[in-house]
Amino acid sequence: MVKTYISSKGQTTIPAKFRLRWKSSAVVWEETPDGGALVRPVPDIMALFGSARTAQPRDPAEKRKGRAAWGDEVAKEGRKS
């Protein structure tokens, strides 16, 4: 157990030992029924990339469609900035 403090701005620091173990820069706070809180790391989505591999061959056309859709989303985000 590690004790941290809440600043006057309502912020707290996540101890380094947890940040290093979690390898995440984001956390989720979950309220428990007893009024406490659970703090959990948000997994880095790119760390999950390739974890659902299958022996089934991929359809190249589906791969192209997926990449095109992803590119469209990235372009939309760029226009919002």
Q: What are phi and psi of 41, to 5 degrees?
A: -75, 145
Please calculate the CA angle 63-76-50 and round it to the nearest 5 degrees.
35
Single pTM value for the model? 0.47
Q: By the 8 A CB rule, do 61 and 46 touch?
A: no
Look at residue 30 in the predicted model and tell me its pLDDT.
93
DSSP codes of every residue in 26-70:
-EEEEE-TTS-EEEEEPP-GGGGTTTT--SSPPPHHHHHHHHHHH
What are the pLDDT digits (tens) for 25-71?
788 899 999 999 999 998 777 666 666 667 777 778 888 888 888 87
When comparing pLDDT for 46 and 4, which is higher?
A: 4
Average pLDDT score over residue span 10-23: 89
Q: Give the phi and the psi of residue 28 in degrees, each rounded to 5.
A: -120, 135
Instruction: Tell whether the model's pLDDT for residue 7 goes beyond 60.
Output: yes
